[in-house]
Structure 1
Amino acid sequence: MAAARSTFRESVRSLLREQLLDAASESLMAGGWHQLKMADVARVVGVSRQTVYNEFGNKTSLGEALAMREADRFLDGVATTLDEHPDDLLDAITAAVEYTLTEAEVNPLLKAILTATRGGATELLPFVTTRSGPILAAATRVLLTYLNDHWPEIELDEAERALVVESIVRLVVSHLVMPLAPAADVARQISWLASRILRQPSPER
Structure 2
Amino acid sequence: MTRFRESVRSLLREQVLNAAYDLVAARGWSGLRLAPVARIAGISRQTLYNEFGSKEAVGRALVEREAERFLLGIQQELDAHRDDLEAAAAAGVGFTLQQAADNSLIKAVLTAARGGDDHLLAYLTTRPEPVFNTATAMLDAYAADAWPEVDEESRHLAVEVIVRLTVSHIVQPAASPEESARRIAKITVRTAQYVRPDPAPGAADDSLPA
Could you say which TM-score interval applies, normalised by the shorter chain? 0.7 to 0.9
Q: Which runs of no fewer than 5 residues in structure 2 stay unpaired?
A: 197-210
- Give the 4+ runs in structure 1 shifted more than 6 A: none
- The aligned residue for residue 101 of structure 2 is 105
Q: Is residue 2:13 matched to residue 1:17?
A: yes
Question: Superposed, which structure 2 residues align to 1:2-13 within 5 Å?
Answer: 4=1, 6-13=2-9
Further displaced range: 191-200 or 18-27? 191-200
The 3 A distance-change label for structure 1 pair 21 and 13 is: same
Q: Larger Rg: 1 or 2?
A: 2
Q: Does 1:47 align with 2:47?
A: no
Contact 2:38–2:48 (CA under 8 A) maintained in structure 1: yes
**How much does 1:107 deviate?**
2.3
Distance 1:160 1:153 in 2: 10
Per the alignment, do residues 84 and 115 of structure 1 end up closer, same or farther by CA in structure 2, a change over 3 Å counting?
farther
Range that drifts further, 179-188 or 18-27: 179-188
Q: Report the AA paired with residue 42 of structure 1.
A: A
Counterpart of 1:186 in structure 2 is 180
Q: Is the 8 A contact 1:117 1:177 kept in 2?
A: no
Give the Cα–Cα distance (whole angstroms) in 2 for the partners of residues 149 and 201 of structure 1: 16
Of 147, 166, 173, the match for 1:172:
166
Q: Which runs of 5+ in 1 are unaligned?
A: none
Kindly state the Cα deviation for residue 174 of structure 1 after the two structures are TM-superposed: 1.6
C-alpha contact 1:75 1:139 (8 A) present in aligned 2: yes
Amino acid aligned to 1:64:
R
What per-residue deviation string (whole Å, max 9, x for no partner) do you get for residues 108-151 of structure 1?
33333333333332322211221173412321233223322221
- Counterpart Cα distance in 1 of 2:189 and 2:3: 49
CA distance in 1 between partners of 2:80 and 2:172 (Å): 28
Which TM-score applies when normalising by structure 1? 0.86
CA distance in 1, matches of 2:190, 2:144: 18
User: Which of 31-40 and 178-187 deviates more?
Assistant: 178-187
In the other structure, the counterpart of 2:79 is: 83
Q: Is the 8 A contact 1:32 1:116 kept in 2?
A: yes
What count of residue pairs does the alignment treat as equivalent?
A: 196
Counterpart among 150, 153, 156 of residue 146 in structure 2 = 150
C-alpha deviation, 1:201, in angstroms:
5.8
Structure 2 Cα separation of the partners of residues 198 and 16 of structure 1: 43
Give the counterpart letter for 2:85 in structure 1. L
Q: How well do the aligned residues superpose, as a CA RMSD in angstroms? A: 2.1
Does the Cα contact within 8 Å between 2:154 and 2:192 map onto a contact in 1?
Answer: no
